[in-house]
Chain A
Amino acid sequence: MESLRVTVDFLKVPLGLKKPVLKEVAVGPPKRPQPAALERYKARRSDAMDTESQYSGYSYKSGHSRSSRKHRDRRDRHRSKSRDGGRGDKSVTIQAPGEPLLDNESTRGDERDDNWGETTTVVTGTSEHSISHDDLTRIAKDMEDSVPLDCSRHLGVAAGATLALLSFLTPLAFLLLPPLLWREELEPCGTACEGLFISVAFKLLILLLGSWALFFRRPKASLPRVFVLRALLMVLVFLLVVSYWLFYGVRILDARERSYQGVVQFAVSLVDALLFVHYLAVVLLELRQLQPQFTLKVVRSTDGASRFYNVGHLSIQRVAVWILEKYYHDFPVYNPALLNLPKSVLAKKVSGFKVYSLGEENSTNNSTGQSRAVIAAAARRRDNSHNEYYYEEAEHERRVRKRRARLVVAVEEAFTHIKRLQEEEQKNPREVMDPREAAQAIFASMARAMQKYLRTTKQQPYHTMESILQHLEFCITHDMTPKAFLERYLAAGPTIQYHKERWLAKQWTLVSEEPVTNGLKDGIVFLLKRQDFSLVVSTKKVPFFKLSEEFVDPKSHKFVMRLQSETSV
């Protein structure tokens, strides 16, 4: 499975064009683009949208972002922590290169710019002044393709790799330089040195294996800001190596130290120090976050699907990545078709009242008065929409169950038509099928029932015929029962089960009021936004448990019969 890589593009704000809203261009000054780092994630709606000026704004922002990002990285390299200027809403867009900014699959059919009809004069495909939707996406693609945007990420990795190589080769250099430079003056050293050589060799080997285990991994995500702990460790290693070289240069190279054993011990001490730094890295990067300290509640904003997770000490951006990993296999897939109440229920909400004003035409607050009267009257009218909702729900439930029953029966029957060929049986080679053909053979009998069921549960965009066939082939190959085959369709699965196009993993934005390199604290709330929905994450501290002990003597378990005595008086 491809890892879910999200690349950072620090400043791009999506244009937020919806359906192709084409306007006659109003000639005016291009919109002033916002300053770089502290940008608020803009609302997508704006009535007076101007496509041409937005295009120019986009190019300005992208150029600005690239240069500023490199500059920031260089700045960060010299500081151990990156601190932001001030507090405020920080939103960081995580986007991938090579993908159009606008997600063609995003469903926003319900959002409407209600006033666009008023301000346009001409609606055409492409006029000579405006740029159509397709042109814009093409231009966006070109711009993204032309410059590799993951420069910053590779820069970080390259820096780390050179530092590691340097620190690995330094002890070897310490050991090899004296014999090369002043062999004649060197005192020979016997068994003590040889012991030290062996220990250096093995320690370097252990260091190599440990570094390979810990650091040589494909990154899961690219974070918007510097990973503070890793930067800290790199600075530490750098300082260590530099100070050792300093000492070496002054005390040994310049002074031409005669005792080779001292030099070897110096090298051994460096290797020990590196091993301890590696231990520190393990503790800081891996172990510290394991013990659960906070409970996070993650709620999806559109349909309220929620989960609770326990997490340890992490910075907000790392927690965001962790939550995204959990989201992809815990939350049922986002299905926009299931969000709204059926139209039949909502349509009746339209008020049947008309308001006539008798006489005065001049007062301006007549309209608010009118609307208030309408609302009050509608509220007083007996509202039966809950009734309709209830019956609609019951009807829908019944329909789904009926289709489901038909589907189950059809699939069961279809599976009885094929069986696995045993080796002893001899069959005509023409009759023997491979799984793909077997799947195609039995697919026809269940296709209709499957299609109707998927349509009723509004899942049909998620399952193409090809995907169903593939799944069927998979189940046949592994001797699964019809029930196992159907498990995928009867319940909405997690997002990662579906095709990669549905993942939309590159579009997550972290919106937080605190700087995202801060650690988690009790009461922090942040958002992971995507175009269609967002995940609201709130933090609570795990309570402190005071456990007390009570000793129960096993001999103290005694019982008596309940009495019903009779006494004569």
Chain B
Amino acid sequence: MSYIPGQPVTAVQRVEIHKLRQGENLILGFSIGGGIDQDPSQNPFSEDKTDKGIYVTRVSEGGPAEIAGLQIGDKIMQVNGWDMTMVTHDQARKRLTKRSEEVVRLLVTRQSLQKAVQQSMLS
């Protein structure tokens, strides 16, 4: 997302998702893709095809993620304070599906946000 090395990403959004209990499992209602052990060139959502971050690939309708405002194509940068930019796919999955947490607070960024920030800076 227009990543400049050394500069913090400023166009971010905080999303708070309350997990839904479905039988034994707590579900969040979205799918993730990416990770440092994955092939970044196949990521359809990333602007920079070497970005190995975690991206939201699908948001299920009516699920907790959609309600909270998570959109498809978002890059998840933090989960409850834990970094998600340099994790493997499995580590990311584990961080999101901890049984002990009912609420996860995500720090996400998306391209539309970036553009909006730029436009507001120019004007």
Q: Which A positions have Cβ atoms within 8 angstroms of B? A: 562-569
Known: A567-B32, A567-B93. 4 other contacts (CB 8 A): A563-B89, A564-B33, A569-B27, A569-B28
B1-36: CB near A (< 8 Å → 1, else 0) gives: 000000000000000000000000001101111000
Q: Is A564 a contact partner of B31 (Cβ separation < 8 A)?
A: no
Q: Is B38 a contact partner of A564 (Cβ separation < 8 A)?
A: yes
Q: Is A563 a contact partner of B93 (Cβ separation < 8 A)?
A: no
Q: Is A568 a contact partner of B37 (Cβ separation < 8 A)?
A: no
Please classify how large the interface on chain B is, using the bins under 10, 10 to 19, 20 to 34, 35 or more: 10 to 19
Q: Is B31 a contact partner of A569 (Cβ separation < 8 A)?
A: yes
List residues of B (84-99) whose CB comes within 8 Å of A's CBs.
89, 93, 96-97
Distance in Å: Cβ of A273 to nearest Cβ of chain B: 77
Please, could you name 13 A-B residue pairs with CB atoms under 8 Å apart, sorted by A? A562-B39, A564-B42, A565-B38, A566-B32, A566-B57, A567-B31, A567-B33, A568-B31, A568-B60, A569-B30, A569-B31, A569-B32, A569-B97
The B interface is mostly helix, strand or loop, or mixed, namely mixed
Q: Return the 6 tightest CB-CB contacts between A and B, nearest first.
A: A562-B39, A568-B31, A564-B42, A569-B96, A566-B33, A569-B28
List residues of B (46-92) whose CB comes within 8 Å of A's CBs.
57-58, 60, 89
Q: Across the interface, name the chain B residue whose C-beta is closest to A564.
A: B42
With a CB–CB cut-off of 8 A, which chain B residues contact A566?
31-33, 57-58
Distance in Å: Cβ of B56 to nearest Cβ of chain A: 10
With a CB–CB cut-off of 8 A, which chain B residues contact A562?
38-39, 42
Q: Across the interface, name the chain B residue whose C-beta is closest to A565.
A: B89
With a CB–CB cut-off of 8 A, which chain B residues contact A563?
37-39, 89
Q: Is B30 a contact partner of A564 (Cβ separation < 8 A)?
A: no
With a CB–CB cut-off of 8 A, which chain B residues contact A568?
30-32, 58, 60
CA distance A148 to B90 in the complex (A): 96
Q: Across the interface, name the chain B residue whose C-beta is closest to A562.
A: B39
Most central of A563, A564, A567, A569 by chain B CB within 10 Å: A569
With a CB–CB cut-off of 8 A, which chain A residues contact B93?
567, 569
Task: Answer yes or no: B43 CB below 8 A from chain A CBs.
Answer: yes
Distance in Å: Cβ of A566 to nearest Cβ of chain B: 5
With a CB–CB cut-off of 8 A, which chain A residues contact B31?
566-569
CA distance A564 to B89 in the complex (A): 9
CA distance A565 to B89 in the complex (A): 8
With a CB–CB cut-off of 8 A, which chain A residues contact B33?
564-567
Q: Which B positions have Cβ atoms within 8 angstroms of A? A: 27-28, 30-33, 37-39, 42-43, 57-58, 60, 89, 93, 96-97
With a CB–CB cut-off of 8 A, which chain B residues contact A567?
31-33, 89, 93
Distance in Å: Cβ of B100 to nearest Cβ of chain A: 15
CA distance A566 to B27 in the complex (A): 15
Say whether, besides A569-B93, A569-B97, A564 and B28 are in contact (CB < 8 Å): no
With a CB–CB cut-off of 8 A, which chain A residues contact B42?
562, 564
With a CB–CB cut-off of 8 A, which chain A residues contact B97?
569
Q: Across the interface, name the chain A residue whose C-beta is closest to B37.
A: A563
CA distance A356 to B60 in the complex (A): 95
With a CB–CB cut-off of 8 A, which chain A residues contact B32?
566-569
Distance in Å: Cβ of A520 to nearest Cβ of chain B: 55
With a CB–CB cut-off of 8 A, which chain A residues contact B30?
568-569
CA distance A568 to B93 in the complex (A): 8
Q: Across the interface, name the chain A residue whose C-beta is closest to B96.
A: A569
Distance in Å: Cβ of B90 to nearest Cβ of chain A: 8
With a CB–CB cut-off of 8 A, which chain B residues contact A569?
27-28, 30-32, 93, 96-97
With a CB–CB cut-off of 8 A, which chain B residues contact A565?
33, 38, 89
CA distance A569 to B37 in the complex (A): 18
CA distance A567 to B91 in the complex (A): 12
With a CB–CB cut-off of 8 A, which chain A residues contact B57?
566
Q: Across the interface, name the chain B residue whose C-beta is closest to A567.
A: B93
Q: Across the interface, name the chain A residue whose C-beta is closest to B90.
A: A567
Distance in Å: Cβ of A561 to nearest Cβ of chain B: 9
CA distance A563 to B89 in the complex (A): 10
CA distance A567 to B43 in the complex (A): 14
With a CB–CB cut-off of 8 A, which chain A residues contact B60?
568
CA distance A563 to B39 in the complex (A): 6
Q: Across the interface, name the chain A residue whose C-beta is closest to B95.
A: A569
Say whether, besides A569-B31, A569-B32, A564 and B96 are in contact (CB < 8 Å): no
CA distance A568 to B28 in the complex (A): 8
With a CB–CB cut-off of 8 A, which chain A residues contact B58?
566, 568
Distance in Å: Cβ of A104 to nearest Cβ of chain B: 72
With a CB–CB cut-off of 8 A, which chain A residues contact B28?
569
CA distance A569 to B93 in the complex (A): 7
Q: Across the interface, name the chain B residue whose C-beta is closest to A568.
A: B31
Q: Across the interface, name the chain B residue whose C-beta is closest to A563.
A: B38
Q: Across the interface, name the chain A residue whose C-beta is closest to B55.
A: A566
Q: Across the interface, name the chain A residue whose C-beta is closest to B28.
A: A569
Distance in Å: Cβ of B38 to nearest Cβ of chain A: 5
Q: Is A564 a contact partner of B27 (Cβ separation < 8 A)?
A: no
CA distance A567 to B93 in the complex (A): 7
Q: Across the interface, name the chain A residue whose C-beta is closest to B19.
A: A569
Distance in Å: Cβ of A303 to nearest Cβ of chain B: 50
CA distance A565 to B39 in the complex (A): 9
CA distance A122 to B93 in the complex (A): 106
CA distance A565 to B57 in the complex (A): 10
Distance in Å: Cβ of A442 to nearest Cβ of chain B: 64
Distance in Å: Cβ of A4 to nearest Cβ of chain B: 64
Q: Across the interface, name the chain A residue whose C-beta is closest to B60.
A: A568
CA distance A565 to B27 in the complex (A): 19
Distance in Å: Cβ of B32 to nearest Cβ of chain A: 6
With a CB–CB cut-off of 8 A, which chain B residues contact A564?
33, 38-39, 42-43
CA distance A394 to B33 in the complex (A): 59
Distance in Å: Cβ of B34 to nearest Cβ of chain A: 8
Q: Across the interface, name the chain A residue whose C-beta is closest to B40.
A: A564
CA distance A567 to B30 in the complex (A): 9
